[in-house]
Amino acid sequence: MTVAFVGRTDVKDPGAAQEQWERVARNRERLYAEDQQFCAARPDAGVAEQARRPGLRIAEVMATVMTGYAMRPALGERASEVVTDPVSGRAARRLLPYFSTVTYQELWDRARALAADWHHHGSAPVRAGDFVCVLGFASIDYTAIQLACIHLGAVVVPLQTSAPASQHAPILEETQPRIVAVSIESLGTAVDAVLMGTAPQRLVVFDYEPRDDDHRDLYDAATARLTDAGSPLVVEVLADLVERAAERPVPPLHVASDGEDPLAWLFYTSGSTGTPKGAMFTESLCVGSWLAQSDQPVITLSYMPMSHLIGYGYVIMTLANGGISYFAAKNDLSTLFDDLALARPTTLSLVPRVCEMFFHHYLGDLDRAVIGGADPDEAAERLRTDIRQRVLGGRVLAVGCGSAALSPEIKTFMEAVLDQHLLIGYSSTEIAGGMLIADEHVLRPPVIDYKLLDVPELGYFTTDQPHPRGELAVKSARFMAGYYKRPDLTATMFDADGFYKTGDVMAQVGPDQLRYLDRRNNVIKLSQGEFVAVSRLEALYSTSPLLQQIYVYGSSARSFLLAVVVPTDVAVSQAAAQGTALKTAIARSLLAIAHEHRLNGYEVPRDFLIETDPFRHDNGLLSGVGKFLRPKLKERYGARLEQLYATLAADQIDELRALRAGGRDQPVVATVARAVQATLGLDAADVSLEARFPDLGGDSLSALTFSRLLGDVFGVDVPVGVIVDPTADLLSIVGYLERSRAGDTRRATFASVHGRGATAVRATDLTLGAFVDDRVLQTATTLPAPTADVRTVLLTGATGFLGRFLALEWLERLQAVGGTLICLTRGTDHADARRRIESVLDTDPALLQRFRELADDHLTVLAGDVGQPRLGLDDDTWDRLTAEVDLIVHPAAHVNHVLPYEQLFPVNVAGTAEIIRLAITDRLTPIHYVSTLGITAVAGHLVDEDADIRYAVPTCEVGDGYANGYGVSKWASEVLLREANDLCALPVAVFRPGMILADSRFAGQLNIPDIFTRLLFSVLATGVAPRSFYRRSADDVTPRYEGLPVDFLAAAMAAIGPTTGEAFDTYNTTNPHDDGISLDTFVDWMSDAGHPIRRIDDYDEWLARFETAMQAMPDRRRRQSLLAVLDVYRQPLPATAGSPVPGERFRAATQLAGHEIPHVSRQLIDKYLSDLVLTGLL
């Protein structure tokens, strides 16, 4: 399939200026004269002619290409060598600064050997029409699998490596694949998916290096999991199959019958409901990539996954032209610049994310050059040339960009770097990757016909002047064959005349010239991926007493919003009378409304235009019923708003540059204030040093930007936790910086432990010596074992949901022995810290009274912070704790599922190291540590209770996936605790909770933000539920729900955790009951309690109605709904018998302590209902 722009010397890029085109032509001629590899890669017209013979089917075309270019290099991967770490003794691959290649003949031999093995297999032969699922990134092995499938006529089903196993499982069930081929990095995910339900007949691993210890660990773990689960599957190694099949007869090429257009590729994607649905691509759609012809050498770098249309298409297009396609060494783009420099591509497919990487890399280098005294213009030109010649290799002749909008500044920058026009393409999965529009010009073919459809609700009509406007509907020569097994869904994509409805609003600005305007659903997707419903924001901001009207404006090329505001006459007169700036007053009003409604920072307009003439019907800005006519508003204000965007972008770059250049030399307080202004786009008058960063409109993502800016300016790591600390204002951040600059940090950082920019972290990095001074470590080995007499307990995190009940449980226990509980809690002072604890208990008078009764004689509260050296305590208090505390209970953590590991490291890892330091300084003090079952997500497999985490999970990949940072931080803390136990036999209990349910006794004590509470509330509030939340399994397993009430969990942890000895005990705190009590049961109970809930048979229909109803909720309810985490329920859940998580130690220990693990009861669900009413949500 043709999914990318293929450059030709005889087809001029219509967007390129003549001088640009001529420079590209001169560069091409220079390369022919000087570059031997370039010359050797020139397409062979004879091979192209043979491949295009009439009547050839796709396998025959492929064979013609592969044999025609047999002796040429075809594909390349970064060379590597296996080296052994002298400290750990582990072997791992190390990348080398060049690519290793295979020829077309070698690739063809590998593909045919695979085809032979699959075709001749005794029990699971692959025949035409069989499905082969492939889970991996992009590699030579992956390509060989694709070619083998074409050879046999098998249907390729690429699986997304970023998707969880729960998303792959229904695809396996729907396609019933003969083979699942999986890269070694994704093997654990594939095994998880297989064990959830449908298993293939064969499981083949590729890109596997058995000498690499990490690879071998993944392979062994997968094999063990299959064996333990009783699965007959064997993990076969692709390289072994190829070697064994070398002597087998090669099966004939699959040639479909005349008139037959068989299914060749099934691409699963998520549409409006998110339910995985397979777009069907037949042979006639796929053969186009093998016939896409260039008349100049095609050398490419494949850095996108081959499960993506462009990633797949560029590899095949390169082979079709006798070129070389190199594969990026890592899928996280961390090696991209090096890979590009080595590959020196001639044809380049870009996406906005990569363009932004180039831009920010350039800005950083430019700032450093200018600070060093270079002339700005000369430095800019030198750096752009360096990117063109050194990073990109100086051979790019054809380039395009797609997949999302590109901001004007970055497009201009990239064209200056490339010294040629950057083509912007428009397409979609349903159109089989065929480009429909290039630089606003309709491409014929593949477009057969198109039209615009009126969108009256948004004010777009085909009768508009000077340009017709409406939703683009198109007929294309290239279109998918429909959604697999979903004819109903396929039908909804077309209008009555057979035109495909794209959902995109376009303006026809000339013959066959279309300009993108809007999305029909009027939800803006900002450049960072956040969706914003502008009409909802307008309704909220219109409540300001200073505003008559507000029009919110955004662009998918920008990360923030702008607005046009019409102030009230009173606001204008008051500002004039008081001598205050009207714009400042309005900005503060908008910020106050955002704070009141808990809006995200990106939902607050960064700047706005003031309009004194209201939007009216007679000036064409309102409809007859008073609705905004958005096209007219955009027509009137769009140019000014875009100019404001450009000005703000330039101003921000100037201010950031000034801060990096001179901010370090200014007073810290002044630089912090300016940095806040630059990050959040605020005026100086709007920034108070007594304000908290979130109160100024900051969220966790802008806090991350702010953190990195401060690091650039001061050379100090400022954790996001310090910035968003609920007790900290900007002055607190100033104090942190001043202490850090004075050298008063005394603690390890992510960079000092793992290395700056590390993308994989190892257990061997996490030594206690990196955190705790040698004197303490040496002394620890001489300290006596702790006694069983526990009279003083230190508890962190008492304001957290589990922490508050651990506090109550330990107060009850310590009352009986006359002991003391010391709670370490953030606060401005000790009294404020205690007030914060009481505030989270103040939902039930009985609970608060009981707490106070126990606290009066048995509680001490210290204002401290686990994210600070020595927990933020003075020396006397620290020394007293080291001498007096008998047990440490440590549930405190920075719980954030978006921030990366590097940002969570200071609190969650270095904080645990401070707890260990306290526990081994004067006496050995046992530690009860609260981890998470989420460790299994970063491990890629279930981790049992007996395993030493250092060996069960020796390495974690650091990524930007959901909850990756949090899971890795908990893993790292477990590693440190293991190190402490090895050092001095420190007793440790690690508890790994899953879903922590509401307290069963006290009113209002439920964890409002958790996903379970959100689900119950959302079902009650919308009044709809699916017939079942679960998909039926082959063995008809009865589903059940995994969760434990918080009061039981706190009591069990206190009862079974060690207080003496030298053991290290890990407890997976699972609910083992196979009792058939599931989410469906909870819906039944809620219905029985009198709540009207309609059950909907079709899951997708329920999901669509459910999501629509939540989006229409009032703001507070909508924020509490399941919308933010709805992806978990985009498809039915797998049904499991009992808990899949090994938790026998926890079950045995709780039983021995006299605690029976409870079932989830009707009474607990009834309490959830009453608690939701108590909180005012229902």
**CATH assignment at residue 678:** 1.10.1200.10
Both 698 and 810 in one domain: the answer is no
Both 896 and 800 in one domain: the answer is yes
Whether residue 349 lies inside any domain: the answer is no
Whether residue 670 lies inside any domain: the answer is yes
pLDDT at 333 over 50: yes
- Report percent pLDDT > 70 for the chain: 93
- Banded model confidence at residue 518, pLDDT cuts 50, 70, 90: low
By three-state DSSP, how is residue 5 classified? coil
Both 1121 and 1056 in one domain: the answer is yes
pTM for this predicted structure: 0.56
pLDDT at 273 over 60: no
Extract the tokens encoding 1069: 């705190």
- Nearest Cα to Cα of residue 1027 among 1104, 952, 1070, 1079: 1079
Cα–chain-centroid distance for residue 83? 32
- Nearest Cα to Cα of residue 964 among 908, 1043, 1014: 908
Higher pLDDT, 652 or 52: 52
Both 839 and 923 in one domain: the answer is yes
Give 449-494 pLDDT, tens digit per residue. 999 998 765 556 676 556 788 899 999 877 888 889 988 878 888 8
Please state the length of the chain: 1178
Beta strand residue intervals within 441-600, DSSP E: 441-442, 447-453, 469-476, 500-510, 513-519, 523-525, 531-533, 547-553, 562-567
* Measured distance CA(933)–CA(956) in Å, rounded: 15
- The listed range with the strongest mean pLDDT (310-319, 539-548, 716-725) is 310-319
pLDDT at 829 over 70: yes
Which of 988, 1003, 1026 corresponds to the end of one domain? 988
pLDDT at 913 over 90: yes
Give 1000-1030 pLDDT, tens digit per residue. 999 999 998 888 999 999 999 888 899 999 9
Whether residue 213 lies inside any domain: the answer is yes
For residue 465, count other CB atoms closer than 10 A to its CB.
7
Which of 650, 678, 706 corresponds to the end of one domain? 650
Both 723 and 830 in one domain: the answer is no
pLDDT at 772 over 80: yes
Whether residue 752 lies inside any domain: the answer is no
Question: Would you state the pLDDT for residue 147?
Answer: 97
Going by the annotation, the residues of the binding site are 308, 403, 429, 504, 516-519, 525, 627, 799-802, 826, 836, 891-893, 931, 966, 970
Higher pLDDT, 331 or 820: 820
Give 552-562 pLDDT, tens digit per residue. 999 878 878 99
Whether residue 308 lies inside any domain: the answer is yes
Torsion of CA 608, 612, 614, 620, to 10 degrees: -80
Whether residue 1154 lies inside any domain: the answer is yes
Going by the annotation, the residues of the binding site for NADP(+) are 799-802, 826, 836, 891-893, 931, 966, 970
Give 158-186 pLDDT, tens digit per residue. 998 877 788 889 999 999 999 999 999 99
Of 187-191, 399-403, 461-465, the range with the lowest mean pLDDT is 461-465
Question: Would you state the pLDDT for residue 163?
Answer: 73
* Measured distance CA(3)–CA(139) in Å, rounded: 19
By three-state DSSP, how is residue 31 classified? helix
Question: Would you state the pLDDT for residue 1109?
Answer: 67
Both 1164 and 1017 in one domain: the answer is yes
Query: For 891-902, what is the mean pLDDT?
Result: 85
Higher pLDDT, 623 or 726: 726
Which of 599, 622, 650 corresponds to the end of one domain? 650
**CATH code of the domain covering residue 208:** 3.40.50.12780
pLDDT at 522 over 70: no
Question: Would you state the pLDDT for residue 404?
Answer: 53
Both 645 and 678 in one domain: the answer is no
Report the mean per-residue pLDDT for the chain.
88
DSSP percent split of the chain into helix, strand, coil, nearest 5: 45, 15, 40
Contact by Cβ (8 Å): 906, 749:
yes
Q: Which amino acid is at 679?
A: T
Extract the tokens encoding 413: 């920058």
Contact by Cβ (8 Å): 205, 183:
yes
Both 1063 and 1140 in one domain: the answer is yes
Give residue 607's domain range.
523-650
Query: For 129-148, what is the mean pLDDT?
Result: 96
Higher pLDDT, 280 or 273: 280
* Measured distance CA(407)–CA(356) in Å, rounded: 9
Extract the tokens encoding 1062: 């030298």
Of 333-347, 706-720, 1087-1101, the range with the lowest mean pLDDT is 706-720
Extract the tokens encoding 891: 């549930």
Question: Would you state the pLDDT for residue 700?
Answer: 65
Both 241 and 335 in one domain: the answer is yes
Give 1048-1091 pLDDT, tens digit per residue. 999 999 999 877 788 899 999 999 999 999 999 999 999 999 99
Going by the annotation, the residues of the binding site for AMP are 308, 403, 429, 504, 516-519, 525, 627
Extract the tokens encoding 1156: 């029976």
Both 642 and 673 in one domain: the answer is no
Cα–chain-centroid distance for residue 1088? 39
pLDDT at 123 over 60: yes
Whether residue 1033 lies inside any domain: the answer is yes
DSSP string, 1021-1074: HH-EEES-SBPPPTT-PPP----EEHHHHHHHHHHHS-SSSS-EEEEEE-----
- Nearest Cα to Cα of residue 113 among 152, 82, 76, 77: 152
How many domains does the chain contain in total? 5
**CATH code of the domain covering residue 941:** 3.40.50.720
Question: Would you state the pLDDT for residue 623?
Answer: 58
Both 1111 and 1141 in one domain: the answer is yes
Give 967-979 pLDDT, tens digit per residue. 999 999 999 999 9
- The listed range with the strongest mean pLDDT (11-15, 572-576, 620-624) is 572-576
Question: Would you state the pLDDT for residue 274?
Answer: 43
Whether residue 491 lies inside any domain: the answer is no
Both 860 and 795 in one domain: the answer is yes
Give 973-1001 pLDDT, tens digit per residue. 999 999 999 999 999 999 999 899 999 99
- Nearest Cα to Cα of residue 612 among 565, 570, 645, 659: 565
Residues 6+ apart with CB under 8 A from 257: none
- Banded model confidence at residue 12, pLDDT cuts 50, 70, 90: low
pLDDT at 701 over 70: no
**CATH code of the domain covering residue 545:** 3.30.300.30
